[in-house]
Amino acid sequence: MRFRARMCANRRQAAPERAACSNRHVAPVVGRFTILFGMTAVVDRLNTEKTTFSVEFFPPRSDDEERILWRAVRELEPLDPAFVSVTYGAGGSSRDRTIRTTGRIAQETTLTPMAHLTAVDHSVAELRNVIGWYAASGVQNVLAVRGDPPGDPNGEWRQHPEGLTYAEELVRLVRELGEFCVGVAAFPHGHPRSTDLDIDADHLVRKIRAGAGFAIAQLFLEPEYFLRLRDRMVARGCDVPLLPGVMPITTPRVLGKFGELAGVPVPAEVSEQLMPLAEDPAGFRAAGVDLVTRLCERLIAEGVAALHFYTLNRSKATRQVVANLGL
């Protein structure tokens, strides 16, 4: 199967380097993909007066996991999330499953899909090919992240000999190749390889000025870290949507997964509240859902207009939190 593409010859004038923090100044180039089926851009879905939410899935690794994923997709579809994202594993079957899953969501549901894309182990030619597949599947929205070294998120980054080094380069590549809406990752606790939150915020702003229209924050359980990141963005003249990443805590295993995904220890206060319930599954789940509900309530009270839920391919806990919030 080969992707369909069409060349476009329109050009725009690039804005000066000190342009406002938006994606409107990016200059497309000749040789762009036409996105089929006319999907809605994430930034348009986020442009609403009511509080909304989005959800994240990972590509299934087996037929059983695929059935579980699609049950979650169908259960969340009636709630009309702003968008659904599918994570990405570079080079191999995980990448292919991301393309297939995102394409199915685009073509078989009423949901707005967003595909992840990383620069790990990819040449620029391979990245162009993946972006072309997304365009052919009708996927207009892409989360562009550099990605972690395979097998060791904290390992040394190694650029592909014919690839890219920075997420902002990947943002520019995606934007150059079509009318894509691009998002980037943000780190309330700071990027794992960064030792300075201000420098980290500068990197985030550069990614947005490269063409990203919104950012999704890594997981956190202490709202102050997210709110201070938002303050740093505003101080730099950057007002694109910043979505907090939240994950319902339903089991001790999921609580441990939080630390793995967030790259920071579980806050002591959270452990003290939940771990005494470790042998009481129903009690632990209820307390975990309540904790995340209160986290989201605080964020909404602080003016956050959209929440991004990491679902682990299950829908029940996310639906409970959404219902608790009246979304």
- Beta-strand ranges (E) seen in the chain are 52-57, 84-86, 113-118, 141-145, 181-186, 214-219, 242-246, 306-310
Taking the chain, what is the end-to-end CA distance rounded to the nearest angstrom? 40
Do 52 and 112 meet the contact criterion of CB atoms below 8 Å apart? no
Helix 124-136 and helix 167-176, axial crossing angle in degrees, nearest 10? 50
Task: Single out the residue of 42, 52, 50, 20 nearest to residue 239, CA to CA.
Answer: 20
3-class state of residue 237 by DSSP: coil
The reply to whether 162 belongs to the active site is: no
**CB neighbourhood size of 323 (10 A):** 11
DSSP 120-150: TT--HHHHHHHHHHHHHTT--EEEEE--PPT
Phi, psi torsion values for 214, nearest 5 degrees: -165, 170
Query: What angle (nearest 5°) sits at the alpha carbon of residue 200, between those of residues 164 and 230?
Result: 120
- Beta-strand ranges (E) seen in 7-110 are 52-57, 84-86
Looking at 17, 56, 108, 126, which residue is catalytic? 56
Task: List active site positions.
Answer: 56
